[in-house]
């Protein structure tokens, strides 16, 4: 990897639980044919943002317990519509259980990005120049 082309380095997904997304806020949601990107910005606009690239299904639980799920097998457009509700919301904390990424927002919503069992990556998180790729579970 040429450091001039890309400063991000791949890291073990097990390190995903040790990063801190708290205090960031959703500044952008962008949709592609096969993925949706959730951009998390800190208070310092000069600091690099964190990006959650999603290629799997997501579940969003609102502050009163309503649950909605968008599955990548249906359409990433459905996931982007669901994630648009998070624009401007602040991250309170996140957890990674070795499978799913759960992001809790100060407004009460909880987003779960699910790891899928397909032979493709499910999602990745780029934080401070390091990309954590979460792929399929071993057979």
Using one digit for the tens of pLDDT, what is the confidence trace for 11-43? 667 788 889 999 999 999 999 888 999 999 998
Chain mean position to CA 80: 12
3-state secondary structure 60-98: EECCCCCEEEECCCCCHHHHHHHHHHHCCCEEEEEEECC
- Please report where in the chains the tokens 């309170």 appear, as a residue: 92
Q: Are 70 and 58 in contact (CB under 8 A)?
A: yes
Q: What is the pTM of this model?
A: 0.85
More confident residue, 1 or 125: 125
* Residue 3 confidence class, pLDDT cut points 50, 70, 90: very low
More confident residue, 120 or 32: 32
Q: What is the mean pLDDT of residues 69-88?
A: 83
More confident residue, 118 or 90: 90
More confident residue, 94 or 63: 94
Distance in angstroms (rounded) separating the CA atoms of residues 123 and 134: 5
Q: Round the average pLDDT of the chain to a whole number and report it.
A: 85
> How high is the pLDDT of residue 2?
40
Q: Which two tokens stand for residue 110?
A: 């909880």
């Amino acid at each position: 990897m040429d450091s001039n082309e890309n400063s991000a380095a791949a890291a073990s997904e097990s390190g995903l639980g040790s990063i801190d997304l708290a205090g960031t806020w959703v500044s952008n949601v962008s949709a592609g044919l096969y993925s949706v990107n959730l951009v998390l910005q800190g208070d310092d606009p000069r600091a690099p943002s964190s990006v959650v690239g999603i290629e799997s299904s997501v579940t969003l639980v609102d502050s009163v317990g309503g649950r909605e799920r968008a599955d990548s097998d249906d359409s990433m457009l459905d996931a982007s519509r669901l994630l648009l509700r998070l624009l401007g919301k602040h991250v309170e904390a996140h957890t990674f259980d070795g499978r799913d990424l759960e992001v809790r927002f100060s407004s009460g919503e909880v987003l779960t990005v699910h790891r899928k069992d397909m032979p493709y990556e499910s999602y990745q998180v780029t934080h401070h120049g390091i990309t954590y790729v979460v792929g399929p579970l071993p057979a």
